Structure 1
Amino acid sequence: MKTVVVLAALVALSLAANLPTPSHHEVETKAVDAEFVARQKKVLTFFKHVEQFDHEEEWYKVGKEYEFEASIDNYTNKKAVEEFLVLYRSGFLPKFEVFSIFDERMLEETVALFNVFYYAKDFETFYKTAAWARVHLNEYQFIYTFYIAIFQRPDTQGIIVPAPYEVYPEFFTNTETMFKAFRVKMQDGLLDEKLASHHGIVKENNNYIFYANYSSYWTYGPEEQRLAYFTEDVGMNAYYYYFHSYFPFWMSSEHKIFKERRGEVWWFYYQQLLARYYLERLSNGLGEIPEFSWEKPIRTSYTPFMSTLYYPFIQRNGEYHIPVEKYTEEIQFLDTYEKTFVQYLQRGHFKAYNQEIDFRSSKSINFVGNYWQSNPDLYSNTEPRNFWRSYEIIARHLLSAVPESYEKHAVLPSALNFYQTSLRDPIFYQLYGKILKYFLLYKEYLQPYTHEKLHYVGVKINDVHVDRLVTFFDFFEYDITNGVYRSNNEIKTGTERYLVRQPRLNHKPFTVTIDVKSDVESEAVFKIFLGPKYDSKGFPITLQDNWMNFVELDWFKHKLTNGQNKIERSSEDFFYYKDDSVPMTEIYKYLEQGKVPKDMSEDFDSAPARLMLPKGTEGGFPYQLFVFVYPYQGEAKAHESLIDNTPFGYPFDRPVWDETYFKQPNMFSEDVFVYFEGTHFPYQMNNPFYVPLKNQVPKH
């Protein structure tokens, strides 16, 4: 019998050994004091087993005992507490219901809950309030609001929140993989290790590993499925969720650090996101981002194999007709909103809501961004407004094809209903591409940069050298244990964990070397952009038609000396990117050492570094690298994280009317190629189940 057990173990080990393992990166940490560690541990406990209660946890006992109404003096804004209590007494979203911030009533409740969190007078009151809310309110409504409160409160700056794909794994993982985890849990392990391995399930170090693929043509059709590794990437979708958590559309700028540049930040984020998406489309042989009309059928289908823990996601078929007779008022609103903006531009100014905006001024970008986000700052000088009349919210609802629900608290899930899943739906990029076209129309009213404005006297870039740019797929691992129901004993012991292992796009580190000759000794600012070299049909594309498609890779300050300067910039130091988040289990280990991952504490809202470069092709896909250097002004910055106060995306924040202005000595364009190496399709790295078996019978 002992021999049989040993042989079975050897078979299991050999099967696991044949499956690939994830790569790991070196984690940069920073030291924190004992008070920070104590607060960090308290915060992390709220994110464990979101769907379940551990009655032994400190927060549960605190939440049950805390007398919220009797503690109103512990909040700096008593009116906010009173407004919350009015809503709470009338009936908040019950537990175990689907939560979406795009629902009118849920939005009102969430704003009230956030205000209570935000105005807690100290961290201890904040913690007790969060514990009370965790016990009494809807679990996902609580987590959503708690996330944002952590980012916004002054006394929680630097506190780490787990990656959203650990907190809400069902929003980042297809149902096929989640159901595998459910089955393993229900049958208490692997009944047949060989069969399980064939389906990409193995056990390693007391953890269950599920090898996961991306969605196929069943979800996207034959073309868009090529981009699934990008649109479904857990890091990219987490990045979008972080951005919303930092700049919620419903929050006034009294809580924000970029009070005067909020609309500009919104524009820059979406411009960069769509430019990056466009580079990926080019690598995969796809054309321009398609366009759509509210009056015509929506041709882009989307059939997600996704599910909340209660309801499956709604599907949208091809040639989807928005029911005009049902949504007449909504369609009229969207059409009027678009035309009203164009009329503002034609007049050259906007005057309403105690505001007067001159569209010829570069500062008007803040108004334009606020207009299209429909945030409170657009109407900040007048009475409170109804957020439901938002272009974004109504557009998302119509495009998601979600039928009306007649139950009081029921929200039927769709990809566009959640920030965690929006990037998965191809129509998302078409919607925001439509919005950005109005930004481009507005940009034409701005005075283009002159030769003198862009010139840097006495500074010349002689040459730019870039290492070979290489991308590949490697495996990444993330924890989905939060999405699996566990017994009380399992919650306490936390022994077995459920992990997804999935191929993700990555690149080899590279260095950009810039040779600069300077006749002056001064502080200079450098920017590095990556943009298309050819359009989707293979023709060279001019800068006049291409300026909006450049992705800003880096932004840094450097002191130039008189004479020759050799500047080497590693991709690992690029300004806008961060490494993958660390699992919660690892965060606890760092806390025991008095440390936390630096990226997660300081740069949580940066883009995933592994997606810095588009996939490219095996033979090398052509792009162009644009390097720009300009004088550092040294003026007061809007935020300490910024290099200076130039417009976001400068100098590609305005149309290029004369391309010769961008061929000055302090600018340099370099043709580069992105080479892809290794297995071309992610699914080929995964389960043998997905690869057609070869005929082993010899032919006669």
Structure 2
Amino acid sequence: MTVKEKQSRLLPLFKHLTSLTRDQLPVGLRDDRLKDVGHLPRGTLFSLFHAKHLEEATHLYEILYGAKDFDDLMHLLEQARNTVNEGMFVYAATVAVLHRDDCRGVTVPPIEEVFPDRFIPVETIRHADKEAAAHPDKDIVVEFEETGNILDPEYRLAYYREDVSINRHHWHWHIVYPATWRPEFMHKEKDRKGELFYYMHQQMCARYDCERLSNGMHRMFPFNDFHEELEGYSPHLTSLISGLNYGTRPDGLKLHDLHDVTIQDMERWRERIHDAIDLKMVHDHHGKEVAVDDEHGIDILGALVESSHESVNQGFYGSLHNWGHVLTARAHDPEGKFHENPGVMSDTSTSLRDPIFYRWHRTLDNLFQEYKESLSPYTKEELSFPGVEVLSATVKAKTDNVIITSMVESELELTHGINFGTDHSVKVKYNHLDHESFSYQIKVENTSGSTKHATVRVFLAPKYDELGNLLHPNDQRRLCIELDKFHKELKAGKNEITRNSVDSSVTISTLHTFDELESGVGVNENADEYCSCGWPKNMLVPRGNNKGMTFELFVMLTDWEHDNVGGKGSDNHMCDDAVSYCGAKDSKYPDKKPMGFPFDRRIDAHDIEEFLTPNMALTDVKIKFEG
């Protein structure tokens, strides 16, 4: 069976899931393998962060993953669609399809087309519904309606938090790295999974602070006090499967104990993780001491904080990250007495919309940084690449070292996710941030007399803080966002490296819409669906401001012979897309260095010039927002 044939069989299962009835396929008619699923009711919101939801979802994706062949998988998927919770079905089906060898090249449609109600304000969807009903013989395009105004200072960042593409990225990353992934069952390892959890979310925090500075706002404050009053947030989203709006959190609410977790639990788990960092060791579930060392410590801590399957002791260190999401999502109705939907923090495809997401993840990142600060700073020897000197680094655009950003229009098709009772297209037109095309021109001299292989590392960071003061290198390092990382051969003598921003190792290369997948566009018999993981291209750089905000472009070349894990490129199915954030499927993470190197450890240098070595270059770059 060809990839195109498999694709055409799979796609209908993801259509109109918001219109399913709550009736379930009777147990007696189900495949025996599916008799123990369907506990979470249909018509309710599924949450990856809720332990009971995740337990059932894990059981389901392992059943689907274990199907005998593609026909057997389709049989199970068709029954599961009529049995389990709608959100759980999409999660489990996507995990299975993404990782099964007989589904290579098969692509699950974008989550924003499967569940548009998680991305588009309810007012806009109602407007679209009325227009479709009034003009059933026409294609409809409606305008995206605003979700707030300037009375809320945080609304200045709504364009970023509510961006369709970054919320899609977050949802998909948690598909690629399920917290409950069991290598012993799936027979595939997720290399450095705990460290990737740390690094991907650290980068999201850094990017958000860059965006705040671009808008003349202070960097975010962590959410350290579980008893403090919370800022409000109204998502203006409805859940079509439940008929209820996502919960709104008024200003001044506090977290409350839930049936499954208490505030005291959260404080106890956090203190135990602090102790583990201070003592440089954790206790596994047998009571054995496990060292939190320089090489594996961040991977161990990442698994502890997320509470993934790799956590050395879930019972003792708890589930700090996940329950933090659930507690904030239930703040408006902790006891469930009003039968309200949880807030957007309950879902990986919506949680980035809420300002509390970033404050919560800044708190978690502070834990990781506490560990990183305990490590010795990199020495000049560890940072250097003998025989290689970076002479200059330039951003090539319409104007050298100036990147223009702006708001551009896109459209989202709604009819695959929502049944409007028409055969015509119903779309939403919305604005999102984007930037002009640019490239890097890096001039390097190799004085070793022989060919060298280098890893080129490119970062960007704001130069000044919110008060206009020059950032100290140790503060600036936490604002460094990775733009690219790639391998380059250097001949003896002078070299000029050119690299386009579209080839970034952090961004997704291609994303096909539902219509494109139905028509066969982009179907490749040798492709790998893993390519749909990655940060969105349009959000690669921060917005900047109208005057032109000054950032520093940092370029560093390291010895690829020391960085390379071996075997890169040996797997013809491995997708090199966005490896910095998503790793390499079924392979080792393709870089031996710690993620974020060289900015993952404290910098004791008084200024950035003291930190630099000859294999590095620093260039002032202005980002100017035209909008």
Residue 595 and residue 344 in structure 1: after superposition, are their counterparts in 2 closer, same or farther (change >3 A)? closer
SS across alignment from 1:121: coil
Q: Is the 8 A contact 2:2 2:525 kept in 1?
A: no
Matched, 1:419 2:348: yes
Alignment deviations for residues 323-356 of structure 1 (CA, whole Å, 9 cap, x no partner): 47x7896111111111111212222222332453
Q: Give the residue type in structure 1 aligned to 2:494.
A: Q
Question: Given the superposition, is the C-alpha separation of residues 650 and 165 from structure 1 closer, same or farther in structure 2, using an over 3 Å criterion?
Answer: same
- Supply the distance in 2 between the matched residues of 1:111 and 1:407 (Cα, whole angstroms): 29
Q: Counterpart of 2:544? A: 616
For residues 318 and 27 of structure 2, the distance between their equivalents in structure 1, rounded to whole angstroms, comes to 40
**Which of 471, 480, 486 is the equivalent residue of 2:405?**
471
- Of residues 361, 366, 377 in structure 2, which corresponds to 1:448? 377
Q: CA deviation digits over 1:229-285, x for unaligned, max 9?
A: 110010010000001111122333444855341111101100111111111111000
Say whether the 8 Å CA contact 1:623–1:672 is kept in structure 2. yes
The aligned residue for residue 209 of structure 2 is 278
- Kindly indicate whether the alpha-carbon contact (under 8 Å) linking 1:68 and 1:129 is maintained by their aligned counterparts in 2: no
The counterpart of 1:581, out of the listed 482, 499, 511, is 511
Corresponding residue for 1:340? 272
Aligned with 1:290 (options 221, 243, 250) = 221
Q: For residue 303 of structure 1, what is the amino acid of its counterpart?
A: S
1:215 is matched with which residue: 129, 147, 154?
Answer: 147
Aligned to 2:8: 41
Q: Which residue of 2 aligns with 1:137?
A: 84
Partners of 1:162 and 1:583 within 8 A in 2: yes
The separation in 1 between residues aligned to 2:269 and 2:183, in whole angstroms, is: 23
Work out the CA distance in 2 between the residues paired with 1:280 and 1:597.
Answer: 38
Structure 1 residue identity aligned to 2:363:
K
Residues 214, 229 of structure 1: 8 Å contact kept: no
Cα shift at 1:45: 1.6
Q: Which moved more, 1:512-521 or 1:154-163?
A: 154-163
1:150 is paired with a residue whose SS is helix
1:399-548 map, 5 Å: 399-400=328-329, 401-404=331-334, 412-467=341-396, 468-487=402-421, 490=422, 495-520=423-448, 521-548=451-478
Whole-Å separation in 2 of the counterparts to 1:594 and 1:343: 51
Amino acid at match of 1:116: I
Residue 642 of structure 1 and its aligned partner are, at CA, apart by: 5.0
Matches of 1:583 and 1:430, distance apart in 2: 33
Secondary structure of residue in 1 paired with 2:311: helix
How has the CA–CA distance of structure 1 residues 601 and 347 changed in structure 2, closer, same or farther, with 3 Å as cutoff?
closer
SS of the equivalent of 2:624 reads strand
Map of 1:265 onto structure 2: 196
What amino acid sits opposite 1:370 in the alignment? A
The corresponding residue for 2:579 is none
RMSD: 2.9
The alpha-carbon distance between structure 1 residues 649 and 323, as it changes in their structure 2 partners (threshold 3 A), is: closer
Stretch deviating more after TM superposition (664-673 or 343-352)? 343-352
> Cα 1:172–1:295, aligned 2, differ >3 Å: closer, same or farther?
closer
Contact 2:177 2:190 in 1 (8 A): no
Is 496-505 or 659-668 further displaced after alignment?
Answer: 659-668
Q: How does the TM-score come out when normalised to structure 2?
A: 0.88
Post-superposition shift, 1:509? 0.5
Aligned-partner Cα distance in 1 for 2:51–2:591: 39
Q: Deviations over 1:84-135 (max 9, x none)?
A: 53x34xx623333333333444333212211210111221111111011112
- C-alpha separation between the residues in 2 aligned to 1:604 and 1:387? 36
* Equivalent residue in structure 2 for 1:673, among 610, 613, 622: 622
Counterparts of 1:291 and 1:242 in 2: how far apart (Å)?
Answer: 25
Task: Answer yes or no: is 1:560 the counterpart of 2:476.
Answer: no
Q: How many residues align?
A: 591
CA shift in 2, pair 1:251/1:360, >3 Å = closer
Contact 1:233 1:504 in 2 (8 A): yes
User: Are the aligned partners of 1:92 and 1:137 in contact in 2 as well (CA < 8 Å)?
Assistant: yes
Q: Could you list the runs of 5+ residues in structure 2 that have no partner in the other structure?
A: 397-401, 568-582
Residues 402, 412 of structure 1: 8 Å contact kept: no
Deviation of residue 407 (structure 1)? Answer: 8.6
1: CA distance, partners of 2:15 / 2:471: 50
1:245 aligns with 2:175: yes
Q: How far did 1:52 drift?
A: 4.0
Does the aligned pair in 2 maintain the 1:478–1:583 contact within 8 Å? no
Deviation of the 1:483 alpha carbon? 4.3
- Change in Cα spacing, 1:222 to 1:64, as seen in structure 2 (3 Å) is closer
For residues 595 and 538 of structure 2, the distance between their equivalents in structure 1, rounded to whole angstroms, comes to 23
Q: CA deviation at 1:150?
A: 1.4
Q: Partner residue of 2:134? A: 187
Report if aligned partners of 2:3, 2:525 keep a CA contact under 8 Å in 1.
no
Match of 1:322 in 2: 255
SS in 2 for 1:505: strand
Tell me: CA distance 1:672–1:596, structure 2 relative to 1, closer, same or farther (3 Å): farther
Amino acid at match of 1:288: R
Deviation string 1:3-57 (CA, Å, 9 cap, x unpaired) is: xxxxxxxxxxxxxxxxxxxxxxxxxxxxxxx611111111212111113469xxx
Structure number with greater Rg is 1
| Residues 411, 579 of structure 1: alpha-carbon distance in 2 compared, 3 angstrom cutoff | farther
Aligned equivalents of 1:669, 1:257: Cα separation in 2: 40
Is 1:292–1:298's contact at 8 Å kept on the other side of the alignment?
Answer: no
2:566 alignment counterpart:
636
In the TM superposition, residue 590 of structure 1 has moved relative to its aligned partner by: 3.0
Change (3 A) 1:295 1:523: closer
SS at match of 1:647: coil
Q: Secondary structure at the match of 1:281?
A: helix
Cα-to-partner distance string for 1:353-376 (whole Å, 9 max, x where unaligned): 245332342211110000100111
- Pick the structure with more helix per residue: 1
SS of the equivalent of 1:462 reads strand
Code of the residue aligned with 1:348 in structure 2: it is K
1:128 matched to which residue of 2?
75
Return the alpha-carbon distance in structure 1 between the equivalents of residues 554 and 52 of structure 2.
Answer: 47
Structure-2 change in CA distance of 1:105 and 1:292 (3 Å): closer
Q: 5+ residue gaps in structure 1?
A: 1-33, 55-62, 71-80, 191-205, 681-700
**Aligned residues of 2:132 and 2:426 also touching (Cα < 8 A):** no
Q: Could you say what secondary structure the match of 1:289 adopts?
A: coil
- Specify whether residues 290 and 635 from structure 1 end up closer, same or farther in structure 2 by C-alpha distance, changes over 3 A only: closer
The answer to whether the 8 A contact 1:66-1:128 is kept is no
Q: Is the Cα–Cα contact under 8 Å of residues 554 and 618 in structure 2 kept in the other structure?
A: yes
* Whole-angstrom CA distance in 2 between matches of 1:514 and 1:250: 42
Counterpart position of 1:691: none
Q: 1:662 to 1:336 in 2, by over 3 A?
A: same
3-state SS in 2 of match to 1:481:
coil
Amino acid at match of 1:397: V
AA at the equivalent of 2:434 = N
User: How does the TM-score come out when normalised to structure 1?
Assistant: 0.79
